[in-house]
Amino acid sequence: MTVMSSATRTALLAKKTLLEGLLEDAYSAYEAALATATKSYKLDTGEGMQTVIKRDYKEMTNTIEHLEARIDHITRRLTGKLNMNLNVRRKRGGRW
């Protein structure tokens, strides 16, 4: 297992804080859309402003799920609980 440098850890913590803020904004926009009769609203996804029409609930939930997954991934990296994928090759002509 490799040791994470302090610069990497700091960058990950900053990214996590940014994503948590974006997630909070996404939740607020989603709740506002459910509570009001407005037809559209703006959402800052961190990659630019996005105008969302009320019928786009699926897209909003996808954005929320994506942000949650990114935060979870960063949290697992910071705590050292990230599962690493291993590439396993089969021997020629052999069986598992």
Q: Does residue 87 lie within any of the structural domains? A: no
Q: Does residue 35 lie within any of the structural domains? A: yes
| The two structure tokens encoding residue 10 | 């700091």
* Structural domain harbouring 31: 22-79
The total number of structural domains that make up the chain: 1
Question: What does the pLDDT read at residue 7?
Answer: 92
Q: Does residue 89 lie within any of the structural domains? A: no
Predicted confidence (pLDDT) per residue in 17-72, tens digit: 999 999 999 999 888 777 765 566 677 777 777 776 655 677 888 999 999 999 99
The enclosing domain of 41 has a CATH number of 3.30.1580
List the Cα angle 29/42/49 in 5-degree steps.
Answer: 120
Q: Does residue 91 lie within any of the structural domains? A: no
Question: What does the pLDDT read at residue 4?
Answer: 81
Predicted confidence (pLDDT) per residue in 71-85, tens digit: 999 999 998 887 655
Check if the beta carbon of residue 71 is closer than 8 Å to that of residue 26.
Answer: no
Question: What does the pLDDT read at residue 3?
Answer: 77
Q: Does residue 75 lie within any of the structural domains? A: yes
Question: What does the pLDDT read at residue 33?
Answer: 75
Q: Does residue 49 lie within any of the structural domains? A: yes
